[in-house]
Amino acid sequence: QKEVEQNSGPLSVPEGAIASLNCTYSDRGSQSFFWYRQYSGKSPELIMSIYSNGDKEDGRFTAQLNKASQYVSLLIRDSQPSDSATYLCAARASSSNTGKLIFGQGTTLQVKP
Amino acid sequence: DAGVTQSPTHLIKTRGQQVTLRCSPKSGHDTVSWYQQALGQGPQFIFQYYEEEERQRGNFPDRFSGHQFPNYSSELNVNALLLGDSALYLCASSYRSQETQYFGPGTRLLVL
């Protein structure tokens, strides 16, 4: 069973700090990775996708991918209370021709004013 | 530009009943994937529909079935409901089966 692992948290950071969220995956053939944000009682919202080793930046968000270490991370700079949510890491299954996503259980982030 | 829509938003059923959930994909999308999210867990892949066919199924029993219509909308049917079927059911749409998936608001199902 291919897996995606995340620390469930909660991860607590003060407002204005950098939040670092981490994820490891077991499917070495996975090529596509996604970060979704999910507010309590809501559905997942896509934040970023990343396909190549290295960093990808979008505003206050930076996704990092290291395929050799099978590690994906999301950095949130200048964290705001509105960033408080569960962050889901997902990997596209390599054995799938359908884009099936395998999700971690999510990390809960709390940004304290 | 309409996003992914799902209906109903909430549903309460009793054990043994059957339920049908509906999804309309984002404008321009032709593929629908269904996921089940239990409380405190990440979404689990149920199946995907593309060109009106089930393309892949996750580890879910045959009680879970689906359909895709010519307008790309989709239904998820669950028969003989169990208490463990209580969850948030998410529909995600994409353009072609391997492109980025965008989620609808979900249907929260409670089985009593």
Banded pLDDT at A1 (limits 50, 70, 90): low
> For residues A1 and A85, what is the distance between their CA atoms, to the nearest angstrom?
27
- What pLDDT is recorded for position B53? 94
pLDDT digits (tens, 9 = 90+) for A32-85: 999 999 999 999 999 999 999 999 999 999 999 999 999 999 999 999 999 999
Mean pLDDT of the B98-112 span: 94
Please state whether the peptide bond connecting residue A113 to the residue before it is cis, i.e. omega within 30 degrees of 0: no
Q: What is the pLDDT of residue B98?
A: 75
Whether A34 and A51 have beta carbons less than 8 Å apart is answered as no
Residues of A in contact with B87 (CB under 8 A): none
Can you give the pLDDT at residue A91?
95
pLDDT (mean) for A3-24? 96
State chain B's mean pLDDT as an integer: 95
Q: Is A3 on the interface with B (CB under 8 A)?
A: no
> Of the candidates A42, A45, A103, which has its C-beta nearest B43's C-beta?
A103
pLDDT at B62: 96
pLDDT of residue B79: 98
Candidates A113, A90, A25, A45; CA nearest to B45 is A90
4-63 of B, contacting A, C-beta below 8 A: 31, 33, 35, 40-45, 48, 50, 55-56, 58
Across B66-71, average pLDDT: 97
* Cα A76 from Cα A82, distance rounded (Å): 12
pLDDT tops 80 at residue B29: yes
pLDDT band at B1 (very low <50, low <70, confident <90, very high): low
Estimate to the nearest angstrom the gap between the alpha carbon of B102 and the chain centroid: 13
CB pair distance less than 8 Å for B55 and A102: no
Report pLDDT for A93: 86
Q: What is the mean pLDDT of residues B4-9?
A: 97
Instruction: Count CA atoms within 13 Å of residue A88 on its CB side.
Output: 24
Nearest CB among B40, B97, B103 relative to A99 is that of B97
Nearest to A90 by CA among A111, A74, A68: A74
pLDDT tens for residues B76-99? 999 999 999 999 999 999 998 778
Decide which of A18 and A94 is more confident.
A18
For A38, phi then psi, to 5°, come to -135, 110
Collect all residues of chain A within an 8 Å Cβ-Cβ radius of residue B91.
none
pLDDT at A98: 75
Contacts of B43 in chain A (CB under 8 A): 44, 88, 101, 103
Dihedral sign (CA A79, A83, A84, A90): negative
**C-alpha angle with apex A70: A64 to A73, nearest 5 degrees?**
25
| Parallel, antiparallel or unpaired: strands B53-57 and B31-37 | unpaired
pLDDT confidence of residue B2: 77
CB-CB neighbors (< 8 A) of A96 in chain B = 56
